Amino acid sequence: MISQKGYSINAIRRKGLVSVAESKFAELKEKEKEARRQIVVESALALFAKKPFFEVGMREVAEQAGISPATIYRYFPSQEELFNEAFIQDISLASKEFKSMVQKDKPASIEEFGIKFIDHLMENEPTFQMMTYLMLKDNLANPVMGKFDSVTKIFFDLFEQLLLRHGVKNKNARMYSHSFIASITGILMTFRNYPLKNKNAIRSYIIKVIKITCSLYSDQLINK
């Protein structure tokens, strides 16, 4: 049978099948690429758990992932992009817990939110190291900076929502959120290597300072 444009119906069908096959192949190839990319991220995180992340090189990550050093750059053009992706995945997973704290019937207190945030960073040293690196590094590539900003925005949003759940209607709620997250992060950066006898003593001291800070925000915004 011939169509109006002179092509046989069978030829049109074959062309359609080829197009579908090509589309499925491209989709499969993209999924395979994403799976390999995820293996690279998980390999990096496994290495970060063993030693400081800034001592981990791309060649070492490639060996851990079972690929060549040259191949790793197909998935992550730079070391910073790999670090940023690892940081994003960890924080994005943790943010689900914080979202639950904010949205439950009786929302968490400012103190509960602050202690949870600090405990997560203290218990996940690679995450904290990556965060401070990305915060302090000059001249981050635009894609990296954009992704990092989107992750920090998650916690600004969550703390702002927490204030709203507690009835704070101040038009400066967003600025209070910026101030709070920056304050407690700064406390951890300042005292994480405080000269005390062990990590438990350091955590105890940091939590005391965090509680004082949280009480200032609570007294100013909620308990006044």
pLDDT in tens, the chain (224 residues): 444 445 565 655 556 655 665 566 666 666 777 888 899 988 888 888 788 777 888 999 999 999 898 889 988 888 878 888 887 887 777 888 899 999 999 999 999 999 999 999 898 887 888 778 777 777 766 666 667 677 778 899 999 999 999 999 878 899 999 999 999 999 999 999 888 878 899 999 999 999 999 999 999 998 86
Considering the domain architecture, whether residues 54 and 94 belong to the same structural domain is answered as no
- pTM, 2 dp: 0.75
Considering the domain architecture, whether residues 63 and 84 belong to the same structural domain is answered as no
- CATH of residue 184's domain is 1.10.357.10
Considering the domain architecture, whether residues 201 and 90 belong to the same structural domain is answered as yes
Considering the domain architecture, whether residues 10 and 49 belong to the same structural domain is answered as yes
On the 0-12 / 13-18 / 19+ scale of CB atoms within 10 A, 133 is middle
Instruction: Express each pLDDT in 18-33 by its tens digit.
Output: 566 556 666 666 677 7
Neighbour count for residue 180 (Cβ, 10 Å): 25
* Total number of domains constituting the chain: 2
Question: What per-residue string of b and e applies to 61-78 under the rule 16 or more CB within 10 Å gives b?
Answer: bbebbebeeeebeebbee
Considering the domain architecture, whether residues 130 and 67 belong to the same structural domain is answered as no
List all residues 6 or more positions away from 40 whose beta carbon is below 8 Å from its beta carbon: 61, 62, 65, 67, 72, 75, 76, 82
The domain of 33 spans 1-76
Considering the domain architecture, whether residues 176 and 215 belong to the same structural domain is answered as yes
Is residue 76 within 8 A of residue 56, CB to CB? The reply is no
